[in-house]
Amino acid sequence: MGNAHDGGISAKYAEHFTDTDGEQNGHGERVVKGMIIGETLGKGTFGYVKLGTHKNTNQKFALKFLKRNTPKFKEDVVKKEIDCMLKVDHKNVVCLVAHKMSVPYPRQDGTMEDAVLMVLEFCSGGDLYDVIYYAGALDEKLGRTYFFQIIQGLQAIHKAGITHRDLKPNNVLIGPDFQLKITDFGLSHIGNETETQNPKDKRMKTTWVGTRGYRAPELVLGRSYSNQADVFALGVCLFVMLCARQPFKSAAATDPWYKCIASKQFRKYWKSHKNSNLTPEAKDMLQALLCYQPRERITLDKALRHPWMDPKLMMDQAELNRTMRSLHAKSVTKKLNDKARNERLQNSEAGNQKGRGRAIEDNEKSCKFYSGKLAEVESIATRKACYEISLDHKPHIVMEHGIDWVRNAKGTSRIDRDTYTLTVTLAGVDTATGKFSTTFHVQMVTRKDATKTFVQMTAEELSTLGIDEKGTITVSKTGKMPVGSQITMIDETPFSMDGFAQIASDPEKVHFTVKQPEALVMCMWLDEEAKKAGKLTVGGVPGFDGFFGSVQKFCVGSWVEPEETANTSNLTRDDFWNLFDEVNKGKFGEVQEVPEVKEELPTLPEVGLEEEEIEPAAA
C-alpha cells in the first residue's frame, strides 16, 4: 500500500478499485470508487461506517466516511489513524485496504459532499461489544481464547511503536471464522519502533483520550504514561467479557470499586461480585492487569504465560465456530429487535441528527447563558481548574452542553447570567458514611493581552503554523496558538527561530509560553461549603471529570498563568489528585491498605449500550 495520505491501495485488493468518483447509477444506487454504498454498519463520534459491495466481484468491504466540512473534522488526526493502520500487518488487527483523503460522497438527496474514505476489510460478525451486550458474558474458555487473540493483536501494535489508547470491546471486531480484530486508531499515539512497553518509558502526556472506565489511573491522574495504559484497558475489556459488567466507573480513588483494587483489598472487591463465578486464576489475572502501579502491572508477555492462559484450556477452531455461531445468532436476533439502536443508525447521515446535542447549536437562543455577560478579568488563580475554550465556539453553547450533562447526571444547576457562572450540585454514595451531595462552580471569563504557559504542541500541530522571527503566529490551524499570538518562551529560554527549529520535530518534551490578544477561559472550583463537608475525595472528581468531559471537545488545552495569583482559596482538580496521592503515599509510591468498612459496595455498573468517548486535546 502507498504511504501518501492522498490515497493508497493494498496490492492485494488493487483490482477491486476504480478511479470513479461518487455517483448515482441508473439503479438508484450510490457508488464511490466502484463500491456500492449499502447499509450503515456503525456510527461513532467522528463519522460512520457503511457496507460497501464491489460492483463486479460482489466482495464486501467496510467504508468509513469522515465528512470534512464538520466542526469535529481534524485532518492531522485522520492522517495519524491512517499511518497507524499502515504500520501494522497482523491477522488480529483490521486491515486498511485503501484510503483517499478526499472523495465526493453521494448523499441520499443526490448532492455530493467532500469526505475522507477509508476502505477496511469487512468483519461480518460486527463488534465484540454487541455479542456481550445482547448475548451475555463469555465463559472462561471462550474468554481465554479471545483474550489470547486480542493480546496477539496488541503486541503487533506495540511492536510497531503505536499505543492504541482506546481499547474496548466496541473496537474489537469479529472477522472470518470468528477471529477477533482490533480496529479504530483515531486516538492512537505513534512513537518509534525502538520504543518498548517498558513501564518506565513514559513517552505520552495527553491524558484526555480514550473512553471513561477504560482509562488507566495514570491517565486519570494526569501523569505521563507508557504502553502499560493499553494493558490496563485490556484488563477492563477482559472483565467486561467475563462478567458483562464494568469493573468500576473510573480508575480513581473516588470510585469505591477501584479504590479496593488500588489498595489491594481484593477480598472485599470480589465480595461484591458474588454472581461472577470466576476462577481464582481468572481473578488473579484481572488483578494483575488492573494494577494501580504501571510498573507493577503485568506485561503482555507475562500475561501470555499466566496460569490462566493455559493453551490446553482454549478452544480450537471447530469449537470456537460452534460456540460463536450460537452466541452470534442470539445477539443478532436481539439487536435486530432493538428499535432504539435501529433508529440511531437510520439517522446516520449528517443533518439527520435529532438528538439534544445537535439541537443546542440549532437553537442557540434557547441556551440559558445566551444573554449572559462575560466578565473580563486581569488574572486567573492557577489553583482553579482552568481550560481554554476555542474562540471558534460560543460560550453559551459550551455551557449549555455542560448543563445537559448535569441534567443527565440527575444533578441541579443554578445559573447566574450576570457573572456567567453555573453552580452544580450532584449526589453520590460514600461507602463509609452513606449518601452525600457536593457542589462546584463553573465560570466563563475573557482575558485580554493574556499570557499562558505549559502549552504543549505536537509536531503535526507545529507544522501547520506560520511564524515570524519574533515568534508571532501568522498562520494557524490550532486554537492553542491562534493567529496574532506570540511564542515568548520555549521552556525557560526566550524564543528564537534557531531554538524553535531545534525542537520542531519533537516538541512534546518542551513547554511553550504564549502571549495572545484574547482568550476565553472556563474556570472550575469546589464550593466552600462542600470543602467544609470533608468529603473531597468522594464528590469532587466525578463532578469535575464528568462535566469537563461533556465540554472537552470545545477546549484547546489547560490554561495556566505564568505566576500564581493571590486567590488560592478554591480547590481544583489538581488538589483532588494530590489528595489521592496522599492517601496512597504519593506519586505512584507504595499503595497502602485502607481500613475495611462494613458496608457492602454499591451494585456494579452494568454494561450499557452507550459509552462516553473522550476526544483528544492533543496528539
Q: Judge whether 166 counts as a catalytic residue.
A: yes
Residues 6+ apart with CB under 8 A from 493: 499
Task: Spell out the alpha helix ranges (H) of 88-227.
Answer: 128-135, 140-159, 217-220
Q: What is the pLDDT of residues 513-533, one digit of tens each?
A: 999 999 999 988 877 766 555
Instruction: Supply the pLDDT for residue 588.
Output: 31
- pLDDT of res. 496: 92
Identified catalytic residue from 127, 130, 166, 184: 166
The sign one gets for the Cα dihedral 539, 544, 549, 551 is: positive
What is the Cα–Cα distance from 289 to 234, expressed in whole angstroms?
A: 7
Mean residue pLDDT of the chain comes to 78
pLDDT in tens, 324-335: 999 998 888 888
Question: Backbone dihedral region of 351: left (phi > 0), alpha (psi from -120 to 50 degrees) or beta?
Answer: left
What superfamily would CATH give domain 128-336? Transferase(Phosphotransferase) domain 1 (1.10.510.10)
CATH no. for 8-122: 3.30.200.20
Strand intervals (E) in 4-126:
8-9, 23-24, 30-32, 35-43, 48-54, 60-67, 96-106, 112-121
Query: pTM higher than 0.75, yes or no?
Result: no
Count of residues making up the chain? 619
436: helix, coil or strand? strand
Strands (E), 46-144: 48-54, 60-67, 96-106, 112-121
For the stretch 531-588, pLDDT in tens is 555 544 333 345 666 787 788 888 888 788 776 433 333 433 344 334 333 333 333 3
Using CA atoms, how far apart are residues 321 and 315, in angstroms rounded to an integer?
9
Type of residue at 613: E
Average pLDDT score over residue span 2-30: 56
More confident residue, 477 or 120: 120
